[in-house]
């Protein structure tokens, strides 16, 4: 099902869409849909990463867990005291 959208675009962009539609002998709607689908595909291909290699070692920290918890708890308590004044 087609959906109606409303967007303000620059005149130059509108002319480019019209030129492409004429050159490809298609509608402006088809030009916009193809452009969005191509951009979507390219973006998704760039986002494909190896999650394991990207996160490997993320759990390694310079401080032990108890120190991290104490530091964060101290920040939260300080924030709570500041907002209770």
- Distance set, CA 73 to CA 6, 10, 49, 66, 67 (Å): 48, 51, 34, 10, 10
Q: What is the pTM of this model?
A: 0.53
Q: How far, in Å, CA of 27 to CA of 5, rounded?
A: 16
Alpha helices for the chain (secondary structure H): 11-24, 28-47, 51-55, 65-84
Q: How far, in Å, CA of 60 to CA of 64, rounded?
A: 9
53-80 pLDDT, tens digit per residue, is 667 766 677 888 899 899 999 999 998 8
22-44 pLDDT, tens digit per residue, is 999 999 999 999 999 999 998 88
């Amino acid at each position: 099902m087609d959906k109606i959208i409303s967007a303000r675009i620059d005149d130059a962009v509108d002319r480019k869409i019209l030129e492409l539609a004429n050159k490809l002998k298609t509608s402006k709607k088809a030009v916009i849909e193809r452009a969005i689908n191509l951009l979507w595909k390219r973006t998704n291909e760039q986002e494909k990463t190896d999650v394991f290699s990207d996160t490997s070692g993320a759990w390694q920290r310079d401080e032990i867990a108890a120190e991290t918890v104490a530091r964060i708890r101290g920040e939260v308590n300080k924030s709570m005291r500041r907002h209770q004044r």
